[in-house]
Amino acid sequence: MPACSSTRRSTCSSRCAGPPLSPIRRIWDPAAGRFRPPLRFTIPEGALFPSSSELLRIAPELILTAAATLLMMIDALGRRPRPALFSSLSAGALLVAGAGALWAYRDPGPAFSGMVLVDGFATFFRLLVITVGFLTVVASHRYLRREGADAGEYNALLLYSIVGQSVMAAGNELILIFIGLEISSISSYVLAGYLRDDRRGNEAALKYFLLGSFATAFLLYGVALIYGAAGSTSLPAIRATIARAPGLLVAISAALMFVGIGFKVSAAPFQMWAPDVYQGAPSPVAAFLSAGPKAAAFAVLLRVFLTAFEPIGSNWEPLVWISALLSMTIGNFAALMQSDVKRLLAYSSIAHAGYVLVAVTARSQVGVAAAMFYLLAYAFMNLGAFAAVTHLAGKRERYLKIEDFAGLGAKQPLTAALMALFLLSLIGVPLTGGFFGKFYIFKAALDSDLVWLTVLALLNSAVAAYYYLRLLVVMYMNEPGEASQQLEPLTGSLRAALVIPALATLILGIFPGAVLDFAVRSTWLLR
C-alpha cells in the first residue's frame, strides 16, 4: 500500500500502512526544511462567549442564581441567623429578576443557538413564577421565625427552584427544559421536608421524591424516543420532522412525556402524591408547590405539545381530555370527603388542573390564553388561601380541620373576609379572577365544539362550590372554637401575604382585559 502524502497524513484513515507522525515531525517538515504552518480554526462568532443580547435574555436566571448563592454563603459564614436579612435579600432579588424579565422582553428572540426563546409566552410565565416566589417569601418570613427554622437555606432553595421554573418557561429545547425541571424538582423535594424534626414533612418529602423520580423517568424516556425519531431535541426541528413523517414512535413519545408532565401538574391519574405532600409540607411550601411548579409545568406542556407535537394533535388530544375529566371528577369528589383543610386544598388543586387541561384540549389560541389567565388567577387565590392556613395553624403547624375555622369572622374579620374572597374566587363567583378564568376556559372549549366537556366541567364546578361554601359557612355561622380563640393578631408579613393576593384577585376580576390581551398576543408563536 503506498504511503500517504504529507498533506494527507493528518486525515489518513486507520487502513493506512504508514506510521503515525512523531510529535517532532508534526511541527517540522524535513522535506521542505521548515516548520509546518500552524493549524487555523474558524470559530463562529459567539461560540465561546455569549453576546450581550443573549446574556440579557437569561437575566432573570442569572440574577436569581447569584442571589441564591450569596444567601448560602452568608448563611454559612455568618455568626448568627438573620431571618429578616435573608427574606429581604430574597424579595429584593425576585423584584430585580422580574424587572430583568421585563427588560429582556424589550428585545425578544432566540438565544444560545435557539435553546432559549424569549417571547411573550416565556415572559408571562417567568413573571408568574417570580410573583409566586415573592409571595412565598413574604408568607414564609413569619413562619420561619415561628418555627425557629434556618431562613438562609430555605430562601436559597426557593430561589433555585424558581430558577428552574424560569428555565422551563423560556426553554425551546427538550434537554434544557429537562434540566430546568430537575433544578426546580430537587429544590422542591428538600423544601417539602425542610423541618427536619417534623415526621410528616419527612414523609411528604420522601413520597414526593420517589414518585417524582418515577415520573421523571417517563419524561426522559419520552425525550429519548423523540430524539431517536426526529434526530433533534429542538422543538421547531421536532415539529418539522413530525410534519413530514409522523409515526408510532412519535405518538409513544408524546404519551410518555405527558405522563411525566402530568405528574408535575398533579393531573389525574398521576395525582396520588399531591394530598400527602401538601398536607405534610410546611404551609408556605405547599402553597408554592401548588402554584409555581404547576405553572411552569403547564408552560412546558403548552409549548411542547402545541409546538413540537401539534402535527399529531389528533393523537394526543384524547389523552388530555381524559386526564382533564378524571382530574376534575376525582379532585372535586375526593375534596367533598375531606375534613383536613390542606388535603381539601390539595384535591382542589387537582380539580383546577383539570380545568386548565380543558383549555389545552381546545388546541386554540383562545384556549392557550385562557389557560394562562387561569393559572395566574389560581396562583393568587390559592396562595392567599394557604396564607390563611399558615396563620391559623399556629406553631408546629398542627393538622387544621374545617371546624378550626369556626367563628373566624367574629374573632378576626379581616382574615375571614380575605379567606372568603379566595374561596369565592376558587368557586368562580363574578368580580373575582376565578370567574373570568373559568369563563374563558369554557368559551374556548365551546368554540372548539367540546360541548360535552364544557357541561361536565360546569357540573364539577357546582360540586366544588359545596365544599368551598361549607368552609365559608363555618367561618361566619358557627361559634368561635379553640383555634379561633388562640389566634395571634394578623400583622407584618402574613398580612401582606393575604392582602396582596386579595387585591390581585379583585383586579383580575374587575379588569381582566389587559392580562388576557397580553396572553392572546403571546400565543401566536406557539402554533
pLDDT band for position 527 (cuts 50, 70, 90): low
Measured CA to CA, the distance from residue 360 to residue 437 in angstroms comes to 13
3-state SS string for 363-376: CCHHHHHHHHHHHH
Q: What stretches of 7-99 adopt beta strand conformation (E)? A: 28-29, 34-35
pLDDT at 381 over 50: yes
Cβ distance 390 to 400 under 8 Å?
no
Cβ distance 122 to 58 under 8 Å?
no
What residues does 111 pair with on adjacent strands?
116
User: Above pLDDT 70, what percent of the chain?
Assistant: 88
Cβ distance 445 to 368 under 8 Å?
no
At 396-453, the pLDDT tens digits run 676 788 988 888 888 889 999 999 999 999 999 999 999 999 999 999 999 999 999 9
pLDDT band for position 78 (cuts 50, 70, 90): confident
Cβ distance 168 to 245 under 8 Å?
no
Provide the Cα torsion 168, 172, 176, 182; round to 10°.
Answer: 20
3-state SS string for 334-366: HHHCCCEHHHHHHHHHHHHHHHHHHHHHHCCHH
pLDDT band for position 266 (cuts 50, 70, 90): very high
The answer to whether the bond into 269 is cis (omega within 30° of 0) is: yes
CA distances from 498 to 217, 282, 385 (A): 38, 17, 8
Residue 388 pLDDT: 93
Measure CA of the first residue to CA of the last residue in the chain; give whole Å. Answer: 58
Residue 313 pLDDT: 87
Measured CA to CA, the distance from residue 318 to residue 128 in angstroms comes to 29
Residue 48 pLDDT: 57
The values of phi and psi at residue 82, to 5°, are -130, 80
Measured CA to CA, the distance from residue 136 to residue 161 in angstroms comes to 12
